[in-house]
Amino acid sequence: MAKADRQHLVLGTAGHIDHGKTALIKALTGADTDRLKEEKERGISIELGYAELELPSGTRLSVVDVPGHERFVRNMVAGATGIDIFLLVVAADDGVMPQTREHMAIIEMLGIPRGVVAITKADLVDEEMVELVEADVEEFLSATPYADTPLVAISSKTGAGLPELLGALETAAGESTAHEAGGPARLPVDRVFSLKGIGTVVTGTLWSGTICAEDSIRVLPEDLEARARAVQVHDQEVECAGAGSRVAVNITGIDKDRLARGQMIAKGDFTPTYMVDARLNLLPTAPALKYGAQVRFHHGTSDATAKLMFADREQLAPGDSCYTQVRLKTKIVPARGDRFIIRSLSPVTTIGGGVVLDPHPHKHGMGGEHITRLETLERGKPDEVVSLLLAEARPGGLSFGELMAVSELPAGKLREILAEPETATVFSNQAGELYFHPQTVTDFNDGVLEALARRQEDSPAEPSLSLDRLGKAVSLAEDGRDFQVMLTALAGAGEITAKGRRYALASAEARLSGSQKRLLDRIKALLDEGGSSPPTLKELESAAGADKGDLKLVLGLLVENGSAVRIKPDLFYAAAPLEAAREQLIARCRQAGRITLAEFRDMLGISRKYAQALLEYFDRTGVTRRIEDYRILRKKAGI
């Protein structure tokens, strides 16, 4: 099996309907990219076609043949995703036409760096006409970034000019930048089909990373889990396909009817979103757009209706550019640096495009602070961008995979930046490493220590705080991972102590008043005397004549020091009789294989109320498992 470890480049056609794109690709590759019966009958491309072109040097280009008809520009945008080199086709008997202009606008907005122009059908006109069309194309391109693009007159029918065209493509391929091999994989799906004996296949251009046979993959934005059974690059099965490849993935684990063009096959920490911050460029030929304008947003092979919320103006003029927040009606799977196209809803035409700066922004309106932030994301140095992303990630931090997804930096460069202590602080837990902005850690630690010091001063008898109350005290929502990893580090530094889910200053000790100490002794004695039938919370309150607050305090201390166990909100057991009940339960189940509630009640000589409470506690703590009206031991129950 091939390893597919060479550099891959994608060549995409562009041009007006009936200018000979598909015929040219057939002349170059021998492949007919018109694959639908309707395309054959009508003589135009409706869907995307694919082929492989081997240049004289041996370099191979994946070729995407896009439709030229104005009704199918949506398909053209999908095909232009991931293109490295464009091949603009202009017919010698027609010249520059509307879809020529629209396709080149799309190419410019997608940031495709270079290309070649083929003047097709040169055999149908005289030399003077070819020269006129070449001049027409040069004038058109002079107002674009592609003024120096080479032009080659060819005939797909006679083969004239094809060697020169291949030479121009060879030069363009040699100037193309290699794709970054690292990073999490993303593959926008442009086709889904089934093959007999193989199953479901999806195809697309791999934007980043690698996809290998047997990889676990996700289908986004639906977040469906699947497996890549096999991977092919141009009909050749490979172990792994790398960024820039035209890839076919044989997917298992998902029904074909749940897959469609517009989805993203991914590995790594990509999160679908309804919103992105971006730099937006409006074409000079487009109408002015007002704040909140609705457009069709094309990203990868997906498209969605969206609103444009400009960061610094009420209206965007033709040919102008600004920062904007894009709010979508359906989710997309973006990363920083992704290109996109916008089209008007009516009439449907391409009006602009841009680049994603923040794939997961907070909802915001206009304002200088937002503009400063977006300027950093657009033009800041890599370490400045990472610092900003970490600062905005507070309080939860980001994993390396999440940082890869949102920063779009090469793995090596990202690790180099994260190694700088002034940029990031790293903590480890069972899930791996989490990165925080150093100021986030400082602010968190200061907040925790201040909150616990205040607690110790206000409540010397109970100086600890629960995890959720500690979170509220430092104005953080409890999402779990940020508290655990940073609190664990703080405890490891000897600043605080942790008992269960309660935290206190390391120097803190519970200081009970004389009456509270007497109450603690009295409650402990009552629980010890109660054995397997201890008094309820209400009975303890009555028997001890205790204040509810003091009673709650001493019960908490008894639980904390292991003298008592809470098995229900209103029922506490002394540790010794509870352990005795557990041992008797395990012994009986080992002997008989199972036990009913009535048998357990009679064995301990207690009421049904206590027997049921105990068995439910043992179920919750993993000792027993209930089946119908009896219990059996779990495998891990001390056997």
Residues 488 and 506 in one domain: yes
Separation of alpha carbons 375 and 372, rounded Å = 5
**What total number of domains does the chain contain?**
5
7: confidence class by pLDDT, cuts 50, 70, 90:
low
Burial class (CB in 10 A: 0-12, 13-18, 19+), 559: middle
Structure-model confidence comparison of residues 414 and 465, the more confident one: 414
Separation of alpha carbons 499 and 477, rounded Å = 21
In contact, 474 and 448? CB cutoff 8 Å: yes
In contact, 324 and 282? CB cutoff 8 Å: no
Q: Give the model confidence (pLDDT) of 66-77 as tens digits.
A: 654 444 456 656
Mean pLDDT of 524-533: 93
Confirm whether 305 is a catalytic residue.
no
In contact, 250 and 200? CB cutoff 8 Å: yes
Q: What is the pLDDT of residue 69?
A: 41
Q: Give the model confidence (pLDDT) of 571-590 as tens digits.
A: 999 999 999 999 999 999 99
The residue annotated as part of the active site, out of 8, 16, 18, 301, is 18
Residues 388 and 500 in one domain: yes
Residues 191 and 262 in one domain: yes
Residues 594 and 543 in one domain: yes
Residues 162 and 230 in one domain: no
The residue annotated as part of the active site, out of 13, 22, 149, 350, is 22
pTM above 0.85, yes or no: no
Q: Which residue's entry shows tokens 């940031």?
A: 111
Whether residue 65 lies inside any domain: the answer is yes
Q: Which of residues 491, 511, 531 is at a domain's end?
A: 511
Residues 527 and 617 in one domain: yes
Separation of alpha carbons 620 and 635, rounded Å = 14
Separation of alpha carbons 341 and 278, rounded Å = 12
What's the angle, vertex CA 625, arms to CA 619 and CA 630, rounded to 5?
Answer: 105
Separation of alpha carbons 480 and 498, rounded Å = 15
Q: Which of residues 266, 301, 328 is at a domain's end?
A: 266
Residues 336 and 410 in one domain: no
Burial class (CB in 10 A: 0-12, 13-18, 19+), 388: middle
Separation of alpha carbons 185 and 253, rounded Å = 19
Burial class (CB in 10 A: 0-12, 13-18, 19+), 619: middle
Mean pLDDT of the chain: 86
Q: Give the model confidence (pLDDT) of 608-621 as tens digits.
A: 999 999 999 999 99
Whether residue 180 lies inside any domain: the answer is no
Residue 47 reports pLDDT greater than 70? no
Residue 546 token pair: 């205790």
Structure-model confidence comparison of residues 559 and 231, the more confident one: 231
Residues 259 and 314 in one domain: no
Residues 24 and 107 in one domain: yes
Q: In what order do the strands lie in the sheet with 151-153?
A: 49-54, 60-65, 9-15, 85-91, 114-120, 151-153
Confirm whether 69 is a catalytic residue.
yes
The residue annotated as part of the active site, out of 8, 16, 19, 21, is 21
Residue 82 reports pLDDT greater than 60? yes
Residue 85 reports pLDDT greater than 90? yes
44: confidence class by pLDDT, cuts 50, 70, 90:
very low
Name the residue among 204, 178, 245, 215 with its Cα closest to residue 410. Answer: 178
Helices assigned H by DSSP within 502-562: 514-530, 537-544, 548-560
Q: Give the model confidence (pLDDT) of 369-382 as tens digits.
A: 789 889 999 999 99
Q: What is the pLDDT of residue 157?
A: 93
Residues 257 and 385 in one domain: no
Whether residue 181 lies inside any domain: the answer is no
Q: What is the pLDDT of residue 67?
A: 57
Mean pLDDT of 410-435: 88
Whether residue 37 lies inside any domain: the answer is yes
Q: Give the model confidence (pLDDT) of 227-248 as tens digits.
A: 999 999 877 899 999 888 889 9
Name the residue among 109, 123, 548, 168 with its Cα closest to residue 321. Answer: 109
Q: Give the model confidence (pLDDT) of 330-379 as tens digits.
A: 999 999 999 999 999 988 889 999 999 999 998 887 777 789 889 999 99
The residue annotated as part of the active site, out of 69, 256, 331, 472, is 69
Residue 198 reports pLDDT greater than 80? yes
Q: What is the pLDDT of residue 280?
A: 98
Q: Cα–Cα distances in Å, from 297 out to 97, 223, 262, 281, 345?
A: 24, 21, 12, 13, 10
Q: Which of residues 152, 175, 198 is at a domain's end?
A: 175
- Residue 399's beta-bridge partner residues? 434
Residue 35 reports pLDDT greater than 50? no
Mean pLDDT of 447-471: 83
Residues 171 and 22 in one domain: yes
Q: How far is CA 402 from the centre of its chain?
A: 7
Whether residue 140 lies inside any domain: the answer is yes
Structure-model confidence comparison of residues 155 and 79, the more confident one: 155
Residue span of the structural domain in which 295 resides: 273-372
Q: What is the pLDDT of residue 326?
A: 98
Residue 157 token pair: 């029918």
Return the biggest CA–CA distance within the chain: 112
Task: Considering only CA atoms, give the Rg of the chain.
Answer: 34
Residues 451 and 330 in one domain: no
Name the residue among 101, 170, 93 with its Cα closest to residue 141. Answer: 101
Q: 149: Cβ–Cβ under 8 A, 6 or more apart, which residues?
A: 88, 114, 115, 116, 117, 141
Structure-model confidence comparison of residues 598 and 637, the more confident one: 598
Hey, which of 222-236, 282-296, 362-376, 398-412 has the most confident mean pLDDT? 282-296
